[in-house]
A = this chain, B = another copy of it.
Amino acid sequence: MTAHIYTAFDDELKYLMRRISEMGGLAEQMVGESVRALVNSDAALAQKVISDDVIMDTAEREVGDKAIVTIAKRQPMAADLREIIGALRIASDLERVGDLGKNNAKRVMAVQGTGVPRKLARGIEHLSELAMTQLKEVLDVYTTRSAEKAKSIRDRDEEIDAIYTSLFRELLTYMMEDPRNITSCTHLLFCAKNIERIGDHATNIAETIYYMATGSQPEGERPKDDTTAAFGASE
């Protein structure tokens, strides 16, 4: 009987892990496709990303429902309970990543045809590649549950931040050069900020995995805010 209960519980944990992995795969894809749509002015691809967001929303709700039913039915303790609470948190972060990808996709039409310079488009692409790598690695760590690896990903958000800051600066310069660039560059600023936030969510997930593996939060503050907030203050 006990063995049977354990097996059923393991199945439920496996279900949660599988759904999280699926959500992670879709989140990565949405981020990649939204940036591709932006760079290539591909309205059809943007539309696909926007529709895919519904799948993410549904998946988050289903993970949430399953998590709560599992806690109520199995009454898990310690590591098992952390596993389920962690799944809830990760699903929520991934759903937000999907939202950010969708928001970027929505900006494709606004930027389309405004002649975004190649250099700025490359900057956005580069930023998104970093964010996607971080997301991919964190999802791999979710499978292996290495607390050490989770901690190292969490400590690496600064690279994204540095690129975001230089892109922010470039976009402002470009806006100042010609007022006709203002609308499209504003959208690109929000796109860049969205991608920077995707990196933040990857970092949140890394922290959650660390917590799932160890039962405690990783030590030391991490910079959760970008450095552009003060940009211009001393100029």
Contact = CB atoms under 8 A, between A and B. Distances in A.
A81 B76 CA distance: 13
Nearest to A112: B233
B68 A71 contact: no
B85 A81 contact: no
Mostly, the A contact residues are: helix
A95 B72 CA distance: 27
Interface stretch (A19-27, A139-147, A186-194): A186-194
A7 B179 CA distance: 65
Contacts of A182: 172, 175-176, 182
A6 to B, nearest CB: 17
A163 interface: no
A103 B190 contact: no
Interface in A58-83: 61, 68, 71-72, 75-78, 81-82
A230 B225 CA distance: 26
Given A183-B172, A184-B232, A232-B110, A68 B82 contact: yes
Nearest to A61: B217
B61 A71 contact: no
A225 B106 contact: yes
Contacts of A61: 217
B172 A107 contact: no
B190 A172 contact: no
Contacts of A103: 225, 229
Contacts of A229: 103, 106-107, 110, 187, 190
A130 B217 CA distance: 35
A85 B76 CA distance: 14
B68 A81 contact: yes
A189 B232 CA distance: 14
Interface of A: 61, 68, 71-72, 75-78, 81-82, 85, 88-89, 92, 99, 102-103, 106-107, 109-110, 112, 172, 175-176, 179, 182-184, 186-187, 189-190, 193, 217, 224-225, 229-233, 235
